[in-house]
Each structure stands twice: as structure tokens, then as C-alpha cells.
Amino acid sequence: MPPADTTSAAVLDQLQRQSHDPGRRILFTGAAIVTMDPGLGVLHHADLLVEGDTIAAVGPDLSRDGAVVVEAGGSILTPGFVDTHRHAWQSQLRRIMPDVDDLGAYVLSTLAGYATVYRPHDMYVGTRLAALTAIDSGITCMLDFSHNSRTPEHSDAAVQALIDTGIRGVHASMAPHFGDWDKQWPGDLARLKSTYFSSDDLLLTLRLAALATAEVAGPTLAYGPELARTAHELGLSVSVDAVFGAASSQAVLGWAEDGLLGAGLTLIHATGLTPEAWQAIGETGTTIALAPTSDAQIGLETAIPAIDEALSAGVRPGLSIDVEVALAGDMFTQMRALHTIQRMRAVNAVFGTEREPVRITTHNVLDFATLQGARTNGLHRTTGSLTPGKKADLLVIHAEDLNNMPLNDPVGTVVLGSDARNISAVLINGKPRKWNGRVLDVDLPTLRTEVHASREYVLNASVR
């Protein structure tokens, strides 16, 4: 069957006229609903009711009384994707170094070069562009690992960009690696929290960001007791980047001895860690953010995403984009890359023997991209599954478009068949942010002019 007119202009007009009504009801009908809730599973012809900003009910033949009805036959409803780690400020430099061969080349060109000339305006432009593109490709929650906080104004600009796009944003604040800066971090976190993160009901969450060791940028940025104390005093969770290899393994064991591991800590990449480090991670409930294309394409440590190691330790990881200077910026790519790499390794590991390969599934990687991503970002009680009581962060994906028809398996269609063009609608906190295939509230010509002007400034200033 062809997809229904799920996202007509008339329906959008109704929704926008009722946008300030906390009791507004939106009923999506007749869809294949991939809830990612272990108790609800996949419903092949069902309805989903949104009341205000919350999912009120999921099931067959829900009441239409008082609801704006969205006929969603021929479509799949899924939770929005959750990105657990992206350096959003860099997005006006997208694919500027697509064939970068190692971490050192990236660090020297981007962190020691381009980053040092960024103005607050450039932080705003890059972060806003990244967040809008995330929404376009179905990412409703994004952790922005904002490691270019040269001044308070740089941080303010990055946070404001998240606010202005309407994404469920996590601002993870860290000082820059190189160049001049105001030395205001981490002290400025208290100001940021009181200014922008004073309510638990907001779309925004604040985190402290750090590096695993002092090897790249010195001890100021390395996670340890002092930064952990700062985070604890402010009630913040922590995201730690560049976690790979022998030095990071030793750091993890040191954090374990100091009682610094746990559910409020996310370790990013986690490639090439020792079995002892993984045991400590698993025993403490520490979360993991994998970056499948970053690890494999740039060649970080072993260059193999640590999915088998994480699962063996009892950790179900989230997924992330990392750096758009060299990588794709959508979650479909991350899911497919991880699915392919892990299954290839599993078969290769038992080739020539009678052992059976242990392979992950499309459902696994969709779980990593949604519910486990939300858990990694500390937001699993808020988002990540289409569970009644959670916030309405969801996607409407056309399953009968040319590249998806006919719909046979909803999960397989989302993971292996779909891309941004099939996402008809995106809701964040019950509010439409993409409708009829178009991101809302964006003046694209003006944005394009700002992005190009910012890029030209950064490129010119960085070679002076």
C-alpha cells in the first residue's frame, strides 16, 4: 500500500495553531510501530497517541476523540536516534579532510589549527548547522562535545545554537586543546548551569567533558579526581573522549581504584582497552559511546569498534558521529557500519572451524542508536523508546518509498533501507521539527550564507 498523506500542510497548520495547548493530542494511526520498548516490541498496524509533549498510549484502535489525526499507513514510527558524541562546532568544515589517516593529522589540522581562530559566532554557526542536520536525519537528541570553549561567550554561543534549533541537546563543555583561551573552564560550568540549565524540564542537559589522559593536551583536560569533584559538586555527569589503548586502560583502572567509574560516566571510543579495563567498566555500570566510522576510517588504536568487548563486559553502548570534518553525519551510517564490521569479524573469527559466529542483529544496532544512546546520555527515562510516559521524540519514516517498498521487516527497513529522505516527520518533545520532509523554522538561504561566510573566515584566519 502507498504511504498515507502523513504530513500534509493542513495537518501541520492544525498542530501549529494548537502548539501552545499543553493538552494537544496527536494521533498517528495505522503505522508499523517499532517501539524499542522490550515490553511492547514491534506493532505491525497500530496507533500512537501524543498528549502535549508526552507519549500517552501505543496500541491498536486508539480513540480519535479530540486529536489531530495523522494517517500513517505505509509508514514506520520509531524513537528518534540519539547521538552520544559529536564535535558540533566543526560542521562548517565538513569533509575538509575526508581521507585523514590518523588521529595526529586531525589534531594538528583541526584542534591546533582551525579551532584556534574560532569566534563565538563561528561556534554558533557550526553548532546550529550540526543540530539542524541531525534533526533532518532523525537524530532528536545530540550530545555536543564542545571542546573549543575559549571564552564564556564561546560556550554561550554553542548552547544558544542548541536552544534555537529545538533539539534535545546535551552540552558537554571542555576547554580547547591548543591556542589562547580565557582559562575560565571548568569554573565557568557553574555559570552555565545557573544561566541555561536551571530546570530539569528543559530540553537541555549540561555535562562536563574531558580527555582520558594528558598525552594530547596536558593534564588540565585529563579526567581524574579533581574534575570528578567539580562534576559531583555541580551534579553533572561526565563524558570522556580519546579513551583508547594502554594509557587509557591504566587510567580506567586508576579511576576504578578512586571510585570514579559508574553510570554517570561515559567513555568514548574505548578501542584497544585491556580485558582488565573492560571488567572494571562492566562491573561499575560505566557507559560507552562507540564511534564506528571514526574508529574504522581514521584508524583509532585498533581501528575496530569495540562492540564485542562492550557486550562481553555486559555493556550495551550508544553510538555517535564524532567529527564531520572527515565522517558522515547521520545515524544510519553508524548503524550500518557497526552491523557490517561486527558480523564480518564474527564470521572471520570462526572461519575454518565448526564454531558458530556470534553476530549482532539489526535490532541490536537500532537499540544502540535509540534506547542505549539515551541511557548513555543519562536520558533513558525521558527518551529512547516509544514508551507511554516518555517524551514524544519520534520519527515517521515512509516505508513504501521507492527505496523501501515493499515493507517486509520494519526494523530491517529502518536500519538497512532508510535514509534522511524517507523521514517524513520528526517530533521532539511533542513538537514537529521536520514535516513533509522539510526541517521547519529554517531560512535555508540565510543559513547557507552564514555557513559559507564562517567557513571562509576560519580558513583565512587560520593561515595568517
Domain count, the chain: 2
Amino acid at 125: V
How far is CA 109 from each of CA 114, 119, 177, 178, 386, rounded to the nearest angstrom? Answer: 7, 17, 12, 11, 41
Indicate if the alpha-carbon torsion angle 183, 185, 187, 192 is positive or negative.
positive
Q: Are residues 314 and 168 in the same domain?
A: yes
Domain-embedded: residue 66: yes
| Angle 231-235-240 from CA coordinates, rounded to 5° | 40
Domain-embedded: residue 4: no
Q: Are residues 347 and 421 in the same domain?
A: no
Q: Are residues 339 and 390 in the same domain?
A: no
Residue 45 has pLDDT above 90, yes or no: yes
**Mean of per-residue pLDDT scores for the chain:** 95
Report the run of H or E that residue 133 belongs to, with start and end: helix 120-136
Q: Are residues 150 and 95 in the same domain?
A: yes
Check which CATH number belongs to the domain holding 49 and give it.
Answer: 2.30.40.10
Domain boundary, last residue among 376, 395, 426:
376
Give the global pTM: 0.96
Domain-embedded: residue 447: no
Q: Are residues 418 and 335 in the same domain?
A: no
* Per-residue model confidence (pLDDT) at position 250: 97
Nearest to 390 by CA among 49, 22, 42: 49
Residue 353 is classified by DSSP as S
Nearest to 419 by CA among 141, 143, 136, 86: 136
Residue 253 has pLDDT above 60, yes or no: yes
Q: Are residues 186 and 335 in the same domain?
A: yes
% the chain with pLDDT above 90: 92
Span 55-60, mean pLDDT? 98
Report the relative pairing of strands 423-428 and 81-86 from DSSP bridges: unpaired
Domain boundary, last residue among 355, 376, 397:
376
Q: Are residues 63 and 93 in the same domain?
A: no
Q: Are residues 149 and 213 in the same domain?
A: yes
Check which CATH number belongs to the domain holding 231 and give it.
Answer: 3.20.20.140
Using the CB atoms, write b or e for 398-414: b if 16+ within 10 Å. Answer: bbbbeebbebeebbebb
pLDDT in tens, 420-435: 999 999 999 999 999 9
Domain-embedded: residue 455: no
Domain-embedded: residue 305: yes
Nearest to 48 by CA among 278, 388, 322: 388
* Per-residue model confidence (pLDDT) at position 463: 81
Q: Which three cell numbers stand for residue 295?
A: 574508529
Domain that holds residue 418: 9-79+384-439
% the chain with pLDDT above 70: 98
Domain-embedded: residue 451: no
Q: Are residues 226 and 347 in the same domain?
A: yes
Contacts of 194 (CB under 8 A, 6+ apart): none
Domain-embedded: residue 456: no
Q: 10 versus 443: which is more confidently predicted?
A: 443
Q: Are residues 315 and 229 in the same domain?
A: yes
Domain-embedded: residue 214: yes
Q: Are residues 111 and 121 in the same domain?
A: yes
212, 213, 215, 218: CA torsion to nearest 10: 110
Q: Are residues 41 and 140 in the same domain?
A: no
Amino acid at 240: V
Q: Which three cell numbers stand for residue 407?
A: 515493507
